[in-house]
Structure 1
Amino acid sequence: MPALSAATQSDPLPLLRLLLAGGPSASRRARLERPDAASTHTDPLLDARLERVPTHELDRCLAWLAQPRHHLIGWNDPRYPPLLRQLPQPPPGLFVAGDPDHLWRPALAVVGSRGASAGGRDNARHFTRRFCRAGLAVVSGLAAGIDAAAHAAALECDGSTVAVLGTGPDRAYPAAHAGLLEQVAERGAVVSEHAPGTPPRSSHFPGRNRIIAGLSLGTVVVEAALRSGALITARLAAEAGREVFALPGSIHHPLARGCHRLIRDGAQLVESPEEVLAGVATLAGRLAAELAGPHRAGPSDPAPATAPADAGAHRLWRALGHDPVPMDLLAERTGLTTATLSSMLLAMELDGRIVVEHGRYARRPTGGGTAT
């Protein structure tokens, strides 16, 4: 993919103008891939919209970007999340508050009803904590109910979490979640395709749901009514080739009916986080290989037959010992990014090759077995 030029990186105005112009995302992505297209007037409608972008909106975005840990990532930026890129209609740009590296971590979406039951919130917390211990990020939409429970659980266990908004990145919805929004931005990432200051609009939330699905290896629906945004997220995940999981419930519980419909339509019925982790293992392994790239292995100490065969995983296997070590030390030993390590470690855990305790990783003493 083409990288941003130095001029574009130092001057966000062209990208901001393109994002604020609106219109079909395909034409705006094409303009980012071929900036010279503007001189040939291949899309006069887009050119006209670009001329009408209000100056005060540009100024508001520039003021937001001037603050620490605020980022603008365009379609042609190397930081653009690789899984999101695979969507049929990925957004041409993202406003990110926090650390954009969280968008590269292998992730699971945890979604469900705004009016969740106490048991549903407990399940969201339980699944989220297990996913975070396995090295995955948890993606959700900062809504009341299941979303808020998932974000809070990830923060409580020092896990990675990403909140995708249907507003601007500076607007919590509901407003009562302003504190939660601030915490996610401080310790994870807040993402929106909408400019700072954008208020909540019902038309924005299906797009928000597609980004949640697009950033994730799979979507876990904890509770949902028959008419629910969580079902839209699940449908979009399936259309993008991602896994969909649903927790069953009582036939008398209205918030179980959406999950039961998903199961009838082909979603995987799951009763434990381990079933979800096993269900995304293949896609996680493929992502790890794509992120790792053609690394060279060391000249000696070949990995044992039970270790993964690719060179990046070989390097990681050599860096692991029988004493648990944290992620940052593994990054130092291997030279691999946190996102790459997270995917590889997840695949190794699911293969039963390593154990994970409190965010530290070690080779399994028996050298094999089944992940627990």
Structure 2
Amino acid sequence: MESASHEPPRHDLALLQLNHVPGIGPRILSLLLARFGSAEAVFEASGRELLEIQGVGPKLSAAITAARHFDDARKEWRRCGEKDVTLLFRSQSEYPEPLRQIPDPPTVLYVHGTIEPADGVAVGIVGSRHCTAYGRRQAHRLAAGLARAGVTVVSGLARGIDAAAHQGALEAEGRTLAVLATGLFKMYPPEHVDLATSIRDRGAVVTESPLDRGPLPGLFPQRNRIISGLSRGVIIVEAGRRSGALHTARHAMEQGREVFAVPGRIDSRASEGCHDLLRDGATLVRGVDDVLEALGPLSEPVASEDGTVLLSPRELGLNPQEQEVLQLIGLQPTPIDQVLATTALDSSRALATITVLEMKRLVQRHPGGFIERIAR
């Protein structure tokens, strides 16, 4: 991640300024960059050229023209440096790869805390702000179980289900990411300031909004695409038919992420949205194993916090002995004798563990005493 303590490259400064202009959302920003090629070129465009962009009217065109001095961006950059906030641009290698792949990804992320490589295996948990005790309990239980398995829990810091998910991950001493709709200096809801501090210490609080942007209604559906974008799959816990959590589910579907739903009582209006998702093909979630089994292989290997290399989220459910043996098996056929000679386990236990891994479809035997690690 790039420090915000010095003057940024001009193209980053231009992106930050463009992100700061009121009225420019993710879609208009993408259209501007696609039309003009760079943020710098957007500010060099004439008013007539700007008006050719869908969604850009005279007021927004004038606002872009008035922002050509980049003063807001320079001030924002300095404040981030003073408050230990990292600015992460899409062009940087540290930018989360799953998020880079979605339509209209954030051009810049404000990060308070750290985003780690292990966060490449993340699951979102969202739901109603006005949840029942059952919903809060299930969100907490699932988040804690995922965190103990090594999965990063992503949510939106909202009241209700979101807060329960963050708290479950923290109590399990796992990692969690909170995605805000507002700026980092306008925490919403305000009573979650202490929770956000705890999240920062065990993960990160992130947003695409400038530091002082307040809670405008349209920002929350826009924020939900980032929750799903950072996640391999999204679990919906208690959502009525009008719940904003269903926006996250739709984003997840559009982004090719798995959608999971926790069932409630069949007569519970609080779970009607979840039941509709299940009827339409979402994966029913009873526990953590349902989630890990459905996520499928990772697009590329991810190193967990303990240095273990993961090819599939299902590998997170292995016990230490199974994990030790799995790490000794290569992606090309490996002699079983080599595995037995390398492991600290005695041969009978190692062979039994290989059999278990084979039953779990994580390894495959080949003729001649060879074995290969697979991810599917």
Q: TM-score when scaled to structure 2?
A: 0.74
Task: Please state whether the residue corresponding to 1:129 is helix, strand or coil.
Answer: helix
Give me the whole-angstrom Cα distance separating, in 1, the residues matched to 2:36 and 2:291. 37
What does residue 119 of structure 1 align with?
134
Aligned with 1:91 (options 83, 86, 106)? 106
Q: 1:287 to 1:362 in 2, by over 3 A?
A: same
Task: Please state whether the residue corresponding to 2:319 is helix, strand or coil.
Answer: strand
Task: Please state whether the residue corresponding to 2:173 is helix, strand or coil.
Answer: coil
Which amino acid is the alignment partner of residue 25 of structure 1? L
Aligned with 2:315 (options 333, 341, 348)? 348
Aligned with 1:166 (options 181, 185, 188)? 181
Aligned with 2:325 (options 351, 363, 369)? 363
**Any conservation in 2 of the 1:102–1:137 contact (CA below 8 Å)?**
no
What does residue 16 of structure 1 align with?
16
Task: Please state whether the residue corresponding to 1:246 is helix, strand or coil.
Answer: strand
What does residue 26 of structure 1 align with?
30
Give me the whole-angstrom Cα distance separating, in 2, the residues matched to 1:118 and 1:362. 39
Give me the whole-angstrom Cα distance separating, in 1, the residues matched to 2:30 and 2:118. 22
Task: Please state whether the residue corresponding to 1:115 is helix, strand or coil.
Answer: coil
Give me the whole-angstrom Cα distance separating, in 2, the residues matched to 1:73 and 1:32. 22
In the TM superposition, residue 114 of structure 1 has moved relative to its aligned partner by: 0.6
Give me the whole-angstrom Cα distance separating, in 2, the residues matched to 1:137 and 1:65. 25
What does residue 141 of structure 1 align with?
156
Question: Percent of aligned positions with the same letter in both sequences?
Answer: 37
In the TM superposition, residue 50 of structure 1 has moved relative to its aligned partner by: 3.9
Which amino acid is the alignment partner of residue 261 of structure 1? D
Which amino acid is the alignment partner of residue 17 of structure 2? R
Give me the whole-angstrom Cα distance separating, in 1, the residues matched to 2:269 and 2:43. 56
CA RMSD between the two structures: 3.2
Residue by residue over 1:338-361, the C-alpha shift from the partner in whole angstroms, topping out at 9 and shown as x without a partner, is xxx4x43735346xxx4259xx95
Give me the whole-angstrom Cα distance separating, in 1, the residues matched to 2:101 and 2:90. 12
Q: How does 1:278-289 map to 2 (within 5 A)?
A: 278-282=293-297, 285-288=298-301
Task: Please state whether the residue corresponding to 2:162 is helix, strand or coil.
Answer: helix
Aligned with 2:212 (options 153, 178, 197)? 197
Give me the whole-angstrom Cα distance separating, in 1, the residues matched to 2:152 and 2:36. 29
Q: 1:107 to 1:131 in 2, by over 3 A?
A: same
Unaligned runs of 5+ in 1: 1-5, 292-315, 317-325, 332-340
What does residue 302 of structure 1 align with?
none
**Any conservation in 2 of the 1:131–1:137 contact (CA below 8 Å)?**
yes
Q: 1:266 to 1:197 in 2, by over 3 A?
A: same
**Any conservation in 2 of the 1:25–1:91 contact (CA below 8 Å)?**
no
What does residue 225 of structure 1 align with?
240
**Any conservation in 1 of the 2:150–2:316 contact (CA below 8 Å)?**
no
Task: Please state whether the residue corresponding to 2:82 is helix, strand or coil.
Answer: coil
Q: 1:91 to 1:39 in 2, by over 3 A?
A: closer
Deviates most, 197-206 or 166-175 = 166-175
**Any conservation in 2 of the 1:29–1:92 contact (CA below 8 Å)?**
no
Q: 1:90 to 1:35 in 2, by over 3 A?
A: closer
Q: TM-score when scaled to structure 1?
A: 0.74
Task: Please state whether the residue corresponding to 1:78 is helix, strand or coil.
Answer: coil
Aligned residues: 313
Q: 1:63 to 1:8 in 2, by over 3 A?
A: closer
In the TM superposition, residue 183 of structure 1 has moved relative to its aligned partner by: 1.4
In the TM superposition, residue 32 of structure 1 has moved relative to its aligned partner by: 9.6
In the TM superposition, residue 244 of structure 1 has moved relative to its aligned partner by: 0.4
Q: 1:57 to 1:10 in 2, by over 3 A?
A: closer
What does residue 52 of structure 1 align with?
66
Task: Please state whether the residue corresponding to 2:249 is helix, strand or coil.
Answer: helix
What does residue 305 of structure 2 align with?
327
**Any conservation in 1 of the 2:157–2:180 contact (CA below 8 Å)?**
yes
Which amino acid is the alignment partner of residue 299 of structure 2? R
Give me the whole-angstrom Cα distance separating, in 2, the residues matched to 1:214 and 1:16. 21
Task: Please state whether the residue corresponding to 1:152 is helix, strand or coil.
Answer: helix
What does residue 253 of structure 2 align with?
238
Do residues 276 (structure 1) and 302 (structure 2) align? no
Q: 1:117 to 1:35 in 2, by over 3 A?
A: closer
Which amino acid is the alignment partner of residue 13 of structure 1? L
Give me the whole-angstrom Cα distance separating, in 2, the residues matched to 1:34 and 1:17. 12
**Any conservation in 1 of the 2:170–2:176 contact (CA below 8 Å)?**
yes
Q: Greater CA radius of gyration, 1 or 2?
A: 2
